Amino acid sequence: LKDRLAAAVKQSRADYTEIRVERTWSSAVAFRGRRLETATVSEDQGGFVRVLNRECGWGIASFTSLDELPAMVTRAHDLSRAVRVEEPIRLAETRPQTADAILELDGDVRGVSLGEKKKLLDRYNGAMLAVSDKIVDTQSSYRDEVSEVWFVNSDGTSLYQLRPEVVVSGTAIARRNGNIEKGLESIGLRKGWNSVQNFEDQFRVVAKRAVDLLEAPRVKGAAYPVILDNELAGVFIHEAFGHLSEADFVYENPQAREMMTLGRRFGKPVLNVGDNGAAKGLRGTLPYDDEGTPTQDTPLIKEGILVGRLHSRETAAKLGEQPTGNARAISFRHPPIVRMTNTYIAPGKQGVGFNDLISDLKLGVYACGAFGGQTMLENFSFTAGWGYMIRDGKVAELVKDVVLAGNLFQTLDRIDHIAGDFTWNQMGGGCGKGGQFPLPVTEGAPHVRIEEALIGGDV
């Protein structure tokens, strides 16, 4: 196949041509309550061509019929020629790469029967349902895939990548009269069958929490000192800061560039942030991005100062910086755009723990778990799964509907304590941008304290 792609690239009349072909084998099992929803095996395949010509824009073609490949290269070329640009689009130089990058399968999911997968999910789903008769519904899903990606471009790069992925997640829905609460567990890894065994306890815990939340009061809306647990701190850094560090936000926008000037202070010296697509075995991990650039650990904030950003070849060329291996596409249906991989807040001093963060707080909120987050650049929202009030330096009652409303600049600058207890979130789900969702990403963080943050709710 590599040779076929190389031949098609060679025949292209465009100045730059890249071809990506994907074949994805996947299987999925889903339960809703006690009922099995589906158990299926799917095969998805298709190709993507992107070309560039001098004084012209991008020409793009995606297709499921691979026989059409040579015709699609021509069509992409014609599309590019139809797009006249005043300012040429340049791509940063990268060293041509040739490799077969096979990620560890850790129990090849293609060799496990659908029946086995159903049994595994049935156990996790059953563990949630068995917690209480107040658990009226569940949504559980198992999904695995092995994706083969071929990438060839006219700069001499030729890659084959084998990317496994497995995600098990469950939502427990508890109900008492009109009151409905949910608990969510999700495990997502760039690995295989062996890595998703023996999680019964975790599923039990979230179902129990959903039941407990039925009795919990809503948090009162106000500004509080807030401690984020590892999971929420990870989602926080992804949403609040990560998206702004994607260079496609600034590269065409002088005002945005000014706002995100390298060297600007974003936080106190305790704050260190980065994005590492080369970390081992995480969901956002890839040896090469979807432009064939090797991934790397990119520092973004060092001791509170903005030091870097995430690039594709195009944004790097425009800003005179180096590509960072962050051009990613969710599938052959989409062009690569600047995305995060595994984004993290680096741990603070070793030995500093959660208790050290709350001991001097009279009143505060401990926000835990993440239902999700969204950013509108300067402003962001993230929804905790649950929370506790902190009173007189101690964890007090359980509260629900904890949603943090934030302004990036104010909030980052108010991070005043970072614990040493770093962990990577191993969650499913994914990140959405430009119509591409869900992109597998991971976040990692220790417990983090924000001096003051706004929590929405009844006032």
Q: Hey, which residues between 323 and 342 contact another protein (CB under 8 A)? A: 333, 335
State which of positions 237-266 bind another protein (CB under 8 A). Answer: 252-253, 255-256, 258-259
The yes or no reply on residue 179 touching another protein (CB under 8 A) is: yes
CA proximity to 403, closest of 427, 372, 357, 363: 372
CA distance 393 to 361: 5
Helix axes 69-82, 2-11, angle to 10 degrees: 40
CA distance 164 to 16: 30
CA proximity to 329, closest of 458, 175, 147: 147
State which of positions 131-150 bind another protein (CB under 8 A). Answer: 136-137
Backbone φ and ψ for 455, nearest 5 degrees, come out as -115, 125
Nearer to another protein, 360 or 378 (CB): 378
The yes or no reply on residue 75 touching another protein (CB under 8 A) is: yes
Minimum distance of another protein from residue 249's CB (angstroms)? 9
Minimum distance of another protein from residue 4's CB (angstroms)? 14
Rounded to whole angstroms, the maximal C-alpha distance in the chain is 72
Collapse the DSSP code of 167 into the 3-class scheme (helix H, G, I; strand E, B; otherwise coil) and give the result.
strand
Minimum distance of another protein from residue 190's CB (angstroms)? 21
Minimum distance of another protein from residue 225's CB (angstroms)? 13
Cis peptide before 70 (omega within 30 of 0): no
CA distance 188 to 281: 10
Nearer to another protein, 234 or 406 (CB): 406
The yes or no reply on residue 444 touching another protein (CB under 8 A) is: no
The yes or no reply on residue 80 touching another protein (CB under 8 A) is: yes
The yes or no reply on residue 376 touching another protein (CB under 8 A) is: yes
Minimum distance of another protein from residue 375's CB (angstroms)? 7
Nearer to another protein, 237 or 352 (CB): 237
Binding mask 219-238 for another protein (x = CB under 8 A): --xxx---------------
Minimum distance of another protein from residue 139's CB (angstroms)? 9
The yes or no reply on residue 363 touching another protein (CB under 8 A) is: no
Question: Which of 1, 10, 11, 41 is close enough to bind another protein by CB under 8 A?
Answer: 41
Nearer to another protein, 58 or 354 (CB): 58
State which of positions 395-424 bind another protein (CB under 8 A). Answer: 400-401, 403, 405-407, 409
Q: Are 225 and 450 in contact (CB under 8 A)?
A: yes
Question: Which of 53, 293, 383, 442 is close enough to bind another protein by CB under 8 A?
Answer: 383
Question: Which of 381, 391, 395, 421 is close enough to bind another protein by CB under 8 A?
Answer: 381
Lookup: tokens for 162: 């084998």
Lookup: tokens for 65: 């019929």
State which of positions 104-133 bind another protein (CB under 8 A). Answer: 114-115, 118
Nearer to another protein, 334 or 420 (CB): 334
Residues 6+ away with beta carbon under 8 Å from 136: 33, 173, 174, 175
Q: Are 225 and 358 in contact (CB under 8 A)?
A: no
Minimum distance of another protein from residue 179's CB (angstroms)? 7
The yes or no reply on residue 3 touching another protein (CB under 8 A) is: no
Collapse the DSSP code of 181 into the 3-class scheme (helix H, G, I; strand E, B; otherwise coil) and give the result.
strand
CA angle (217, 224, 393) in 5-degree steps: 85
The yes or no reply on residue 84 touching another protein (CB under 8 A) is: yes
Distances (CA, A) of 452 to 78, 222, 366, 369: 55, 10, 12, 19
What pairing do the DSSP bridges indicate for beta strands 35-52 and 16-32?
A: antiparallel
Lookup: tokens for 125: 């789903």
Q: Print burial letters for 373-384: b (CB count within 10 Å at least 16), e (below 16).
A: bebeeeebbbbb
The yes or no reply on residue 65 touching another protein (CB under 8 A) is: yes
Helix axes 200-213, 114-129, angle to 10 degrees: 40
The yes or no reply on residue 319 touching another protein (CB under 8 A) is: no
The yes or no reply on residue 70 touching another protein (CB under 8 A) is: no
State which of positions 6-35 bind another protein (CB under 8 A). Answer: 28-29, 32-33, 35
Question: Which of 4, 6, 46, 356 is close enough to bind another protein by CB under 8 A?
Answer: 46
Question: Which of 15, 44, 148, 416 is close enough to bind another protein by CB under 8 A?
Answer: 44
Nearer to another protein, 320 or 435 (CB): 435
Q: Which residue has the tokens 């139809």?
A: 82
The yes or no reply on residue 218 touching another protein (CB under 8 A) is: yes
Q: 10 Å Cβ neighbour count for 130?
A: 13
Question: Which of 2, 4, 15, 63 is close enough to bind another protein by CB under 8 A?
Answer: 63
DSSP at 241: I
Minimum distance of another protein from residue 428's CB (angstroms)? 15
CA distance 126 to 137: 11
Minimum distance of another protein from residue 67's CB (angstroms)? 6
Question: Which of 6, 25, 45, 123 is close enough to bind another protein by CB under 8 A?
Answer: 45
Nearer to another protein, 234 or 348 (CB): 234
What pairing do the DSSP bridges indicate for beta strands 423-424 and 98-102?
A: unpaired
